[in-house]
Structure 1
Amino acid sequence: MKISFYIRMLGNASRLAIKQEQNGETIKLDTLKKMILSGVRIVNAKSDNEGSKTLTQDHQFIASIKFLISTLTPAEFQNIFPITKEYDGEKYGIKDYYTTKKYISEIGENAEIGDNIFEFLWEYHNWEICNFVVNELTAISELRKLNGKRGLAEEFFEDHGLPTYILSEANGKQFLTNNITGDTLLVKKPKPKYLSIVHGGKSS
């Protein structure tokens, strides 16, 4: 579905939540679920944007959705975004259905997620939620760059003594610049396999 569908869903659910609060009611669980579902899908559907104002707004929007998620229990959250039924995480050293269930059992399936929100989303195995977390980290990283700081990936690698590189192009050639040493390397593109070397007019 298009992003406009989820924007309308979020708008309707938000107005309903405001009305419920004005009537002295607690926001109903169904309303919260609609706000969270639409919010996550809006974040994941948005294309890349430029400019600190937009990035700041994106980050603030993501933070508001995370706050709503934090008011739920893992059991309630699973009704919105079920755990992906993939079971071979141990084989590849990644999270899967089993690691997610184990983590949830540790914090309590029926306990409010609360302050565990960052770790909960990080440990939760659902591809929509994985994309949501990646989009949050991307927004934070790009904001840091716009403020003259290193991106999250650059900071991590460089703080561990691992070089990162900037790809640039000049005169039809591509160069990689080491962000630690400043050394520049010419990118040599491999010869396509379907081309053969010609010697004296004959292909080899």
Structure 2
Amino acid sequence: MVYKLLAIYGSPRVGGNSDLLLDSFVAGVKSPNWEITRLYVRELNILPCIACGECDKKGECPIKDDMQAIYPLLSQTDAMIVATPVYFYNVPAQLKALIDRCQLLWYKNKGKRPVLFKPGYLITIGGRQEKSIFEGIFLTIKSFFLTLGVRLKASWTYAGIDNLGTIKKHPTALREVYQAGKKLCQKS
């Protein structure tokens, strides 16, 4: 059986620290049993939700942009990982627009909790030293995942990492997420 992993790159910075971490996780998933789709949010045209209510009334979003191709990816994946930097205690605007547009999926389920949960993972990185910088991201990602029928199984947070490529100097980060990717494919 072939499983699908959706890897969501949430940083607007090409080749940034969260990209490097997610690349390392994905590199660990070396298995013919896993098909990996890399979704670079920065490359997509996703307009923000306008709270028009059409998704509740008609079951579809009236905004025609790249989200139309993303909805099936979100619903047809077997596992999901999101990598994102911290922007003011939350995810960057580009990723937040994608998350907010999942209101359509929330309405389709009418807010009901799914019976089965797919595994979800989070890698997040921030420039400030204190761990509290990740609190907003955890709340956002848990809500996003719940809407998709995904449960957060594991997460990796790295504080005090800001400049481009600084994660390469961290003593364990790249190896930790690589090993997590290996562990994921061993469970299939």
Normalising TM by the smaller chain, what interval?
Answer: under 0.3
Larger helix proportion, structure 1 or 2?
1
Normalization by structure 2: what TM-score? Answer: 0.26
The structure with more radius of gyration: 1
Larger strand proportion, structure 1 or 2?
2
